[in-house]
Structure 1
Amino acid sequence: MRVIILDHEPFHDRKINHYFIDDFLSQGYEVEYWALCDILPYMKGAKFQYRGKRDFVNYIVSMNDLFARLALLDPNRDLLVVEIWFLFNTKDIFKKIESKGLKWIKIDYYLNPTKSLEPSTSLTSRFKGVQFKMVFNKLINWVFIRLLKHDYAVPNIFYLTGQSFEYAPKAREVVALDYFDVVEYNKKKNQPPPLAYSYVVFLDIMLLDHPDIDMLGKKNVISRSAYYIKMNEVFDKIERCTGLPVVIASHPKATYRDEFGKRLVISNKTAELVIHSAMVLTHGSLSISYALLSKKPILYIYLESFFLKDEFLQSIYEAMLLGKIHFGAEVISENFDCSLLNLEVNVERYNDYLSKYFCKKNHGIGNFNIVKNGILKLMNED
């Protein structure tokens, strides 16, 4: 049996865990990763600092190339894992998958955690401040997705995290998983601390350079130099208030030099850094899951001089306010008072939020086995 992953991003090593690639390979499955980043219209202009290569990775060069590859697939042995947006200008891909009789699944780790912190916005506000061409495309997609029937774009199985299905799209079956940070936390919670001293950790979201900004058609209005000057001033004050250094848990896709001054910047150690920290700072990283799991105080930071003057950044600020409602996080600007750093953790609210959006009920069965068993059942159906 062959598992073929259609993803809108270039390959990155994080995709190995996301799609259980090593697990499938170790059990005798064939695996292919088809990167569609070069051919999808909504990916045009997206900037990535990585473009991983492996024997199983293929970068698709055109729509004709993709359709030719799909035409060669066997519905009896090939299973698709699809991670592309369903839009008006991607509908033909889904139609091709349907016409071939191919079965496909979607694994969405981000839906529940993201939707639970997504401020509600009107259609008008979604289009505000966006160029005419972008407005037109958004309107077409909004009408297409919400007002027309498209059963050909319904996955056989939709996997999402947590026990709430309120945000689940139409699917033939919806199945719960643990968010992958839950799995990572359970592996690392008893490991020795990464640093020999107490510290506060900042969960970096690569705010200035994240490719999602381009994919969503947004323009980053923050001056790079002004942002880092302001953030380092905030960190200086937090260090004075707490007596603890701020350590940067770098976004895995970021490459930093001296943007945070002399502060320690650590990549690929986010779980360990959060688990052993005294406090967690962020603009809105989903890695707050580690803070929720390890019961650490969470402090959201927004900058009045930027966040309240731009629609996209204001939506991030509004998500922070939802975090305050859901699990009692504190929200501060650059003009905060030190007394706001004396945070207490509401364990009951933390656990309730985790169960709804991050953790499945049955912890005895791992995510890979849940996905594998679903695929096997699906492929044996006739």
Structure 2
Amino acid sequence: MSHKIIKNIGIVTFYPPMRTEFELFGVETFEKNGFNVFFIDISKILTPNLKYDPPVVNDKIVIKINKIRELYDILNQNNLIIVSAVYYTYKTLWLYRLYKKFNVPYIVFDISYHPSRTFESSQKSLQERIKRLNFRNLIIRLVNSNTFNQFLIKKADFALIPNYFSNILDPTIGKNTKILYTHHSDYDKYLANLDKKVSPENIIVFLDEYLPYHPDFQVMKSKPPVTPMNYYTSISRFFDKLEQKTMLQVVIAAHPRSARKNLFGDRKVIYNNTLELVRKSRLVVAHSSTALNFVALYKKPVIFMTTDEIIKTDHNNIIMNMAKCFNKIPINIDDETSIDMSDICSIDLEAYNNYLNNHVKIPGTPEINSWEMFIDCLNENHYI
């Protein structure tokens, strides 16, 4: 079968792209292989009131879209493939309708897969399920159903599946979609750093999630699980105790979207270097960050923590579920009686290895960058 010859890679995002997105979407890998790569930022359409303006990495390859019609000329290119980093939902149905209108080939992948999802369906009570059966959610289910959407959208040409639990892409996958089993983007970073030597340091790394201010809460129009004053007071107090107990220094692996300064007092805050920080640490502290992938890869002991505020929210379930993956129980840092540091350095290797196999890398997939695998797939299917 003959296909369009692909020369341009358009990456559609619902956030203004940052440095992390350049790594996540393999910009350097594509450019090394002769492709022209650019981002298509549709955040102004999806979330026009979003108060979030990250530092620009390379403005030359970012196209900011303000109106839907501005996409027409872009999608009408003959040698384009779209990397769709925007999930198919009832709110983005219009975007997937455009893919069909212009018959543009596109690829989907689970950009924000979280291991805690594997526990969610079994934990919902009958009462919760009934509560969710409102008109809006019935419409959402209808839009997501294959019976309905097969007439509305063009199914994806390719799907990158990082693990066996990733099912959020199902509405966009059809019988002719080429499925490519890969691994989590964190494993790509792990592969890229295999030959780099790192010396251990006497540090504890906190995997920051920017919980009080994360822009996702604006996007989802939901309330953060913590208030800034209570949250930063609690973790600062806990870090003081942890440093006294271990004689180690707590260092903050900043969330890439964090923009506010001086949230952690005098503690060192480091951006865009989480892998190396975890790798050379003695201990990791976390809530439910996906950077826990590095904890499993480098076999680091980890403390899961919650607070009095978090316990009252759904976010606590996410933390509980992540802790289960590592055979750990979260501690409430606001409750002195729940803080047991007697086995903070214990590791359940079986749990760690199960986590890697279930959530980070499908066993047997090639030990190469995910986007290299995709480029090989394009070549095998005569797209290049």
Q: TM range, normalised to the smaller chain?
A: 0.7 to 0.9
CA distance in structure 2 between the partners assigned to 1:189 and 1:33 by the alignment? 29
1:189 Cα deviation after fit? 5.2
Mapped to 2, the partners of 1:328 and 1:26 lie a distance apart of 41
Counterpart of 2:162 in structure 1 is 161
Question: Can you give the 5+ residue segments of structure 2 that lack an aligned partner in the other structure?
Answer: 1-6
The equivalent position to 2:254 in structure 1, one of 241, 250, 267, is: 250
Report the CA distance shift for 1:339/1:21 in structure 2 as closer, same or farther (over 3 A).
closer
CA contact (8 A) 2:116 2:321 kept: no
Structure 1 residues 114 and 5 mapped into 2: Cα distance closer, same or farther (>3 Å)? farther
Relative to 1, partners in 2 of residues 1:168 and 1:231: Cα closer, same or farther, differing over 3 Å?
same
Matched residue SS, 1:289: helix
What letter is aligned with 2:304? Y
Q: If the length of structure 1 is used for normalisation, what is the TM-score?
A: 0.86
The residue number in structure 2 matching 1:39 is 45
Aligned to 2:88: 86
Q: How many residues align?
A: 365
TM-score by length of 2: 0.85
Is residue 300–residue 320 contact of structure 1 (8 Å, CA) maintained in 2? yes
1:105 offset after TM fit, Å? 0.4
Q: Distance in 2 between matches of 1:124 and 1:279?
A: 40
Matches within 5 A, 1:168-183: 169-170=170-171, 171=173, 172-183=177-188
The one-character-per-residue Cα deviations of 1:86-121 (angstroms, maximum 9, x if unpaired) are 222322221221132211101324326353365644
Q: Which residue of 2 aligns with 1:66?
A: 71
Corresponding position: 1:271 with 2:275 = yes
CA 1:161–1:307: 2 relative to 1, 3 Å: same
Aligned-residue identity in percent: 21
Q: Tell me the SS of whatever aligns to 1:34.
A: strand
Residue of structure 2 aligned with 1:18, choices 24, 29, 32: 24
Given the superposition, is the C-alpha separation of residues 89 and 163 from structure 1 closer, same or farther in structure 2, using an over 3 Å criterion?
closer
The aligned runs of 1:1-382 (5 Å cut-off) are 1-40=7-46, 43-50=47-54, 52=56, 53-70=58-75, 72-74=76-78, 77-111=79-113, 113=115, 115-116=117-118, 118=120, 120-121=123-124, 125=128, 140-146=139-145, 149-151=148-150, 152-163=153-164, 169-170=170-171, 171=173, 172-188=177-193, 191-193=196-198, 197-220=201-224, 222-304=226-308, 306-309=309-312, 314-334=313-333, 335=335, 336-360=338-362, 361-378=364-381, 380=383
1:262-293 Cα distance to aligned partner (Å, 9 max, x none): 11111112111111111111111100011101
Contact 2:161 2:181 in 1 (8 A): yes
Tell me, in whole angstroms, the C-alpha distance in 1 between the residues paired with 2:88 and 2:310: 30
CA distance in 2, matches of 1:265, 1:283: 17
Secondary structure of the residue aligned to 1:261 is coil
Q: Are residues 325 and 4 of structure 1, via their aligned partners in 2, closer, same or farther at CA, if it must alter by over 3 Å?
A: same
Alpha-carbon contact 1:46-1:214 (below 8 Å) kept: yes
Root mean square deviation, CA, Å: 2.8
* Alpha-carbon distance, 1:123 to partner: 9.2
Give the match for residue 3 of structure 2: none
8 Å CA contact 1:46, 1:215 repeated in 2: yes
Deviation (angstroms), 1:323:
2.4
SS of 1:39's partner is helix
